[in-house]
Structure 1
Amino acid sequence: MPHFVIDCNKNILEIQDSKIILQTVHSTAVKTGLFDETDIKVRLNPFDKDFLVGGKEDNFIHVFANVMEGRTTEQKANLTKQIIIQLKRLFPTVPFIAINIRDFEKATYSNKDMV
């Protein structure tokens, strides 16, 4: 935990290699100091069809960040800002780059080591 799931169109992978994108999000999350590096999970979902951005097929990146509750709004805002800064650096011509954070509840989160 946390989980960063990156949705993008397939053309994004022609601009940058997927490993660079994954490592950029991972290392940026580490640098915020909010997470243990070994706990961070990053996945990439490229879409080759069936998407619209502003009513047309256009390049996009959207990061869905799921983190355990307990971080402040300021910490989460800094995390989103830092990830956007790094993605803009990698993709200066991509018109839509965004991220949102959702909190997991400690009371309802479980994984295989917890049961």
Structure 2
Amino acid sequence: MCEVPKMPHCIVEYSQDLSEQITISEVLAKAFNLLKNSGEFEPAAIKLRAIAYQDVLSGLDDHSFLHLRLHILSGRTTEQKLALTTALVEGLGAELPMVKSISAEVLDIQRESYIKRIS
């Protein structure tokens, strides 16, 4: 059965050096709660996964980073998207002061062309 999926898909990218200081499963749980508490999504529709990057270089002395890419179905306002990214960055930032850079972005998935197989 194919149907228009519920969202979001949240991909957490982070510098692998953070694995010594944080537990990524706890970060995913915190991000899950922030998304759930936003009121934008049903809890069963929230999906998170993480990717660690070993090779990292930036202009900062400390290269540690956490970046959240939030893929959601198109149609939300700029204000709604900003509220989501602000909640993620501020919420995780308060819990993870050891992370040098925390950022988030929203990427629209076009409703007209995205489907999901559920079995």
Q: TM-score, normalised by structure 1?
A: 0.89
- For residues 60 and 25 of structure 2, what CA distance do their matches in structure 1 show? 29
Structure 1 residue 57: Cα displacement: 6.6
Kept after mapping to 1: 8 A contact 2:13/2:66? yes
Question: 4+ residue stretches of structure 1 with deviation over 6 A?
Answer: none
Structure 1 residue 61: Cα displacement: 0.7
Kept after mapping to 2: 8 A contact 1:16/1:90? no
Q: Is it true that 1:82 corresponds to 2:87 in the alignment?
A: yes
Cα distance, 1:55–1:81 mapped onto 2, change above 3 Å: closer
Gaps of at least 5 residues in structure 2 are 1-6
Percent of residue pairs identical: 27
**C-alpha root-mean-square deviation of aligned residues, in Å?**
1.5
The higher relative CO (CA closer than 8 Å, separation ≥ 6) is in 2
Q: Is it true that 1:107 corresponds to 2:112 in the alignment?
A: yes
Secondary structure at 2:112's aligned position in 1? coil
- For residues 19 and 97 of structure 1, what CA distance do their matches in structure 2 show? 17
Query: 1:26 is matched with which residue?
Result: 32
Q: TM-score, normalised by structure 2?
A: 0.87
Say how many residue pairs are matched.
Answer: 112
Query: 1:52 is matched with which residue?
Result: 57
Amino acid at match of 1:73: T
